[in-house]
Structure formats: C-alpha cells, structure tokens
Amino acid sequence: MKKWPNQLFINNKWVDGIAGRKWDVFNPANGTLLESVALADARDVDAAVQAARKAFDEGPWPRMDPLARGRLLYKLAGKIRDNLADLAMTDTLNVGKPIRDTLGFDVPCAADLFESYAGLPDKIAGKCYGTLPDNVTMQFREPMGVIAAIVPWNFPLTNAAIKLAPILACGNTVVLKPSEVSPLSALMLANLALEVGFPPGVINVIHGTGSDAGTPLVEHRGVDKITFTGRHQTGAQMLQAAKIGMKGVMLELGGKTPSIVFPDALLENVVNGVITGIFFNLGQVCVAGSRLLVHASQHDEILARIISKVGSLRQGDPTDPKNHLGCLATAQHKKIVINYIEQAKKEGARSILNNAHLSQGEGCFHPPVIFDGVTSNMTIAREEVFGPVLSVMTYQDEEDAIRIANDSDFGLMANVWTNDGGRALRVSRRLKAGRIAINGGGALRANVPVYGYKMSGIGAELGFEEAAHEYTNSKAILYSLGTEKSPWPE
C-alpha cells in the first residue's frame, strides 16, 4: 500500500486544517490505526467553497469545450483502474468490506461511472420553441455552480464517484465531504484527479464531523446546491440548511426494501437473490432487501433453503478473498444493530438462524440474523437497521403482499419474484418505490436513475437526462425577429 494522503485537498493543494486538529481513522476489523487525517472546521470549509466558487466564476472548467471535460473524466476512470488494488484494499481496511467485493464491485463501479459520464458533457442539450413567425424561444442548459456533496461510509469510493461524475460532467465545481469514518479513498481519488490535470478548485475534498464541517458547508452562501446520501434524519437537516441562500437539494436517503416472492418464482434464484440482497456488505446498503415477504404455502421451504445457503457463507478477515462477509464499519454502528436485534426479540420476532459457525471475532464483526414472525408494526420492520438482519413476513394473496410492502415510510426500492410477466408489471406499478427489480434484474449503472418515494429522497441520483436536470440551470431566451414594434400603450 502507498501512503495515504492525510490532509485537506483545496484548490489542488494539500493543506492542514487551520485549527491543526487531527482525526484518527481505524480499521474496524482489528481496531488498528490506519491514518490520522487533518480535520476541517468552518474556516477550512470557507476556503474550499471559495476555491470552488472562483474556479466556477473565473476558471476554465464551466467554459471548457465539453469534449475536453469528458476527456479528463475518462482519464480519471483509467487512473482508478490503474490503482484498483490500492483503492480496493483502502476501502476494505477502512470500513471492513470484503476484498472480493471492493475488487469485484466497488472500485470497478467507480471507474465505470466516470467513464460513462465522460460521454455526457457534449450531449447536454436545450430546446427551441420556434412556433411563432416573429419570435423564437430557446432554452439553454448551463452549469449550475458550486455543489456541496456529502456521502456516507458504506461505499466510500463508489459513493464519491456517484456524486462527482455527474456533477463534473455538467460543468460544476464541487466540495466533497466524505464521512469522517472513511475519508481515505476519497483523498486518493483527489490525488488521481490532480495527476490527470483537473484545474484548481474544480474538486475539493474536506473531511470532518457533521457539526464542524458538514453544517458550515451546506449553510455556506457560496454553495448553489446540496447533494446528500445518508440517513433521512440528516436529510431533513439538509432541507433546513437549504433555506440559507435558497439552495437546491438532491437527497438519496434510507430504504426498507421489500422482496415479494410469489409461489411461481424459481426458488434457487430467489434464495441467491435474497441472501445477496440483505447480507452483501452486511446489510449496510440503502437498498438492502431487509423485508422478505413469502406466501404462507412456501414459507417453510424458502426459509429452510435460505438458512442452508447462509450456512455456506464464510465470515472473517476482510482482506482474505475467501471470506464472503467482513465486519460492520464502526463499533458504534455495531451497537445500533445489536439494539435493533434486542428490540425485535422484545416485540415478539423469532430468531431462527443458528449462526454460531460464523466467526464474530473481535472488532466490529456481527453474523447474519434472520427473524421470522415479523409484522409491520414492529420496529425492525419499520426502521432502517442498516445491518445483516432479515425480517420474514408472511402474506396470504397478491393484494395482501402489496399492502404489506407499501406499509412503510420508505420507498427506495422493491423486489418482485415471479415467472408471471403480467403479475410482475401489475405489482410493480402498484408498489410505492422508485426502483423495482423483477427477478433480480438490474444493477447500478450510470444511465439508470435512482428515485426515492416518501422518506427515501428528493430528486434523482444518476441517469443522464436526470443528471442534466439536477446539476444544470435552465435559461429561456426569447428572441424577437420582428422589425417593427408598437410602443406601449398604443
């Protein structure tokens, strides 16, 4: 491993925080210190926003040939691939993700996102409303300005790419605040951007706590828009901060994904999909399939298959490619997950998975948990656990399944398992969620937007037309072609 950057990245320079404070970043698998990074406060945030503001108002980035912007994004994608091993190991060490996942998904996905958005800049188009003989109205899309991007710790590099790629493709400058838990790969990404030649101030990375750095960032009057991924409680705070300066807001928040299994579904695929959906990254995923809805007639068979399959999973050292499961990202989060498990037991949910074979070890390890007999009024069915906890719920018919699935404050994603195409589309149309996967279909791709119903968010993450809508301003120009004008009031 190369030495990690440990300073703030502002205006293409590595700088210490003005207060001189440090933040220790730990490996959650064994508690060892990885790095001590500079900690930002409001003064550092102001410096970063001012750098981004100057880069947007005076620098070349928003006025650059769109193809030239795209080439830099494409080069950055190549740099990410060149540094695959180091970036993957960094996120594995930083948040306990299995190396097989960071190598196989997280880092390649980040590269794919930059590569895909590299083709967008010269395709952002306006419209012409030329229906009158003496007047033409044109709509232009222009870069928006300075974007404050705040991302969580569960997919450090991928989350950074999800924000930066569309923001930069649309010609904006950005101040990125990764989680203080997991800043290392974001700093490495900034270093790669410096190497490929991004102009000063276009990308700035500051790290610090929500109160010391996050709040000053989103409240800064030099920021034009806030884009945030995280818990819905923090999302509500973003809406309050957006009142200062009347900023735009894009929020990708929590989820409580239901997976409805109909009796005609192929059970082998269902089992694999359900296990991946909830235990990948130990459930620390906003779209984790945490609610499994099974028909009463298949309840016992499905659970038996799932429990048997979970028994083949290996949990342990995240750096060992043989292990499927690593650990939770922090000791504090482990306590939160344990509290939810204890609350579920008190409310009458039945723990049905004997996971003693999985090594919990020390640090932040926690094995998969499955609860049966879960009802919609239980805390574990209503709140986002963000951990390896599957809640099994039984339905009687299609109408009952839809009712249970929609009985949630969240609506980020839903899964439907059936071989009946008519039923798949009929049910999907009635589910209140922004993303529906039928029979495990789909993956995270730049061109597919992520929407949130209810408390799961505002606006669209990813997508091409959607990115242009989220990260550009629209301007109408009314062009008179008439040569004679009658003065008012004649």
User: How far is residue 102 CA from its own chain's centroid?
Assistant: 15
Selecting among 35, 115, 219, 252, the annotated active-site residue is 252
CATH number of the domain that residue 304 is part of = 3.40.309.10
- pLDDT-derived band at 356, boundaries 50, 70, 90: low
Of 468, 467, 447, the residue nearest 139 (C-alpha): 468
Instruction: Decide if pLDDT at 146 tops 60.
Output: yes
Is residue 70, in this structure, part of any structural domain at all? yes
pTM: 0.96
* pLDDT for 289: 97
Q: What is the mean pLDDT of residues 93-104?
A: 98
Q: Which amino acid is at 215?
A: T
CA dist., res. 349 & res. 374, Å (int):
5
Sequence-separated contacts (24+) of 346-350 with Cβ below 8 Å? 347/378, 347/379, 347/380, 348/373, 348/378, 349/373, 349/374, 349/378, 349/380, 349/391
Summarised one tens digit per residue, pLDDT across range 382-412 is 999 999 999 999 999 999 999 999 999 999 9
Instruction: Decide if pLDDT at 489 tops 90.
Output: no
* pLDDT for 1: 64
Same domain as 265, residue 160: no
Q: What is the mean pLDDT of residues 471-486?
A: 86
Instruction: Decide if pLDDT at 171 tops 70.
Output: yes
Is residue 420, in this structure, part of any structural domain at all? yes
* pLDDT for 407: 98
Neighbouring CB atoms inside 10 A of 448's CB total 14
Q: Average model confidence (pLDDT) for the chain?
A: 95
* pLDDT for 323: 97
Is residue 488, in this structure, part of any structural domain at all? no
Selecting among 35, 109, 180, 286, the annotated active-site residue is 286
Whole-number percent of the chain with pLDDT over 70? 97
Same domain as 97, residue 150: yes
- Tell me which residue has tokens 């239901």: 258
Overall number of domains in the chain: 2
Asked, as a colleague might, if the bond just before 166 is cis with ω within 30 of 0, I would say: no
Instruction: Decide if pLDDT at 490 tops 80.
Output: no
- pLDDT-derived band at 484, boundaries 50, 70, 90: confident
Residue 416 backbone dihedrals phi, psi, to 5 degrees:
-125, 130
Asked if 271 and 238 touch (Cβ cutoff 8 Å), the reply is no
How far apart, in Å, are the Cα atoms of 87 and each of 14, 155, 159, 331? 19, 12, 13, 23
Same domain as 263, residue 134: no
Whole-number percent of the chain with pLDDT over 90? 92
Of 303, 280, 305, the residue nearest 292 (C-alpha): 303
Summarised one tens digit per residue, pLDDT across range 423-435 is 999 999 999 999 9
Whether 465 is catalytic? no
The half-sphere exposure of 251 on its side-chain side, counting CA atoms within 13 A, is: 26
Asked if 402 and 426 touch (Cβ cutoff 8 Å), the reply is no
Cβ-Cβ contacts under 8 Å for 231 (sequence gap 6 or more):
152, 253, 254, 384
Is residue 1, in this structure, part of any structural domain at all? no
Is residue 61, in this structure, part of any structural domain at all? yes
- pLDDT-derived band at 362, boundaries 50, 70, 90: low
- Tell me which residue has tokens 């906003």: 286
Is residue 272, in this structure, part of any structural domain at all? yes
Helix (H, G, I), strand (E, B) or coil at 226: strand
Asked if 455 and 286 touch (Cβ cutoff 8 Å), the reply is no
CATH number of the domain that residue 71 is part of = 3.40.605.10
Residue burial 49-65, b: 16+ Cβ < 10 Å; e: rest: bbbbbbbbeebebbebe
Whether 252 is catalytic? yes
The half-sphere exposure of 193 on its side-chain side, counting CA atoms within 13 A, is: 30
Q: Which domain holds residue 394?
A: 258-438
Instruction: Decide if pLDDT at 487 tops 80.
Output: no
Summarised one tens digit per residue, pLDDT across range 218-256 is 999 999 999 999 999 999 999 999 999 999 999 999 999
